[in-house]
Structure 1
Amino acid sequence: MEKLNFVKNGVSKLPPGFRFQPTDEELVFQYLKCKVFSYPLPASIIPEINVCKYDPWDLPGNCDPQERHFFSPKEAKYRNGNRMNRTTKCGYWKATGSDKRISSSTSTCNGIVGVRKTLIFYEGKSPKGSRTHWVLHEYRLVSVETGAANSSHNYVNEIGDWVLCRLSMKKRSVESDGSGTHHKHRQNTAVQTTRPRLMFDFMMVGKTNSSTSSSCSSSSNIMEVSSNASDHEETSGYAHF
């Protein structure tokens, strides 16, 4: 089967009516693991880009869908250290909360698990930056080895040179004009929340125009759907609405 490629010029492009909504487990074991071990990916849907080379509002893609995914290479902050560089031109990413461990529900994966770290973007210089509403989930692949027989501790080692990032923005950034939120953030998010979603009407394809009445001639194959459309139909990371 030919591998599907939905990335063009560094931006993911899905067919009309489809969205990319993978679970944490799918992101780790279907995409990140395949990327790290050079296995074939289910589909070429996640572009490669160094996330910390850009401010979040300058990353490729648009706000529809709201979440964006990227494979980002690990870049050490210091030459002789493992701490990742998370500084951008206008600010920095700061970790918040505790890391979440992600295990596979289908197999043990030979002691391989995923770790999800949550980061918040701050504008300005550390440590006095202004908190924004940009959120980054960073997924990493790690190996877990049990210690000695009389020890219950696990030893964790990171695997590979890639992380998988999921970028999003908190919805309350539209309702608040507080400081620390870039004007581009508010403008782009406001456009997204007021613009109705569009879906392609596949049932219209193939019909001839001979029987089209004048009342239908002004309509197109694009119809508006409510912004409250159901998101329940999901199969392996793809949702059709």
Structure 2
Amino acid sequence: MVEKIIDMNSSQGHMRSTSYKDKDDDEEEVQLPGFRFHPTDEELVGFYLRRMVDKKPLKIELIKQVDIYKYDPWDLPKPSSVGDKEGYFFCRRGRKYRNSIRPNRVTGSGFWKATGIDKPVYSLEGEARDCIGLKKTLVYYRGSAGKGTKTDWMMHEFRLPTTDNSTSAATVNAKISDQEAEVWTLCRIFKRNVSYRKYTPDSKQLSTKRQQPPINTSSKKFLSSGI
């Protein structure tokens, strides 16, 4: 469904772009006038991140691949023309030490610090509402660890659960290796005082929040690791 919308927007954007030739004849990126990229957590994990791990790129690059830890948050590449003031990036998770499972989240001027354990992202389709991904919230600190100053920059880091921690066979794609699912993340980065209102749960999310199914024992163990 999302692909159909993208294809439709692509064709409309191409048609409309002819009227903007006087403005910029050499523009390389396809412009989508009036389109704003505001995907839900479920869409980010179940569609965009899933396709990235599956190596099925979209015709339009809505989310760029960037090593976000090479940049301070205010120096990150500007959001796509179809986005807003928040940025969306695919990023490979580096390791803090060669034999460690802890990710390296240090940048030039500071570091990203997790605010808690991973939260499950559920599919709202069907009755089972499977856990299709994991979401971690991080805050950016300027300075070194232990002496850093908290800033208003925040990040939501999404990743796919590994096979052993999926709640049902429907959430596991045989073509996706656990290693690939663990390496790739999708990050939403924004400044808190600007973007907090945008992530207020909608009525559908609020109605299902109280009915979230319990996470099985293996998932709880995985989430509590805080990786």
Q: CA deviation at 1:46?
A: 0.2
Say if 1:50 and 1:65 are closer, same or farther in 2 by CA, change over 3 A: same
Match of 2:120 among 81, 101, 109: 101
Give the SS at the match of 2:189.
Answer: strand
Identity %: 42
Note if 1:15 corresponds to 2:15.
no
Note if 1:28 corresponds to 2:45.
yes
Say if 1:42 and 1:117 are closer, same or farther in 2 by CA, change over 3 A: farther
Say if 1:32 and 1:129 are closer, same or farther in 2 by CA, change over 3 A: same
Say if 1:108 and 1:92 are closer, same or farther in 2 by CA, change over 3 A: farther
- The one-letter amino acid of 1:129's match is G
Which sections of structure 2, spanning at least 5 residues, go unmatched? 14-28, 168-177, 196-201, 203-227
Give the SS at the match of 2:74.
Answer: helix
Give the SS at the match of 2:146.
Answer: coil
- The one-letter amino acid of 2:54's match is F
- Runs (4+) of structure 1 moved beyond 6 Å? none
Q: CA deviation at 1:97?
A: 3.0
Aligned length: 159
The TM-score with structure 1 as length reference comes to 0.57
RMSD: 3.4
Deviations 1:69-111 (A, max 9, x none): 00001111110111111000000000003322002122699x7
Say if 1:133 and 1:162 are closer, same or farther in 2 by CA, change over 3 A: same
Contact 2:120 2:131 in 1 (8 A): no
- The one-letter amino acid of 2:141's match is Y
Tell which structure's C-alpha radius of gyration is larger.
1
Equivalent residues in 2 for 1:16-165, closer than 5 Å: 16-41=33-58, 43-61=60-78, 65-106=84-125, 113-143=132-162, 144-145=165-166, 159-165=181-187
Q: CA deviation at 1:120?
A: 0.3
Greater fraction of residues in helix: 2
Which sections of structure 1, spanning at least 5 residues, go unmatched? 7-11, 147-156, 174-231, 233-241
Give the SS at the match of 2:42.
Answer: helix
Q: CA deviation at 1:125?
A: 0.6
Deviations 1:93-144 (A, max 9, x none): 00003322002122699x7621110000000011110000000000010032
Q: CA deviation at 1:14?
A: 4.8
Contact 1:141 1:160 in 2 (8 A): yes
Greater fraction of residues in strand: 1
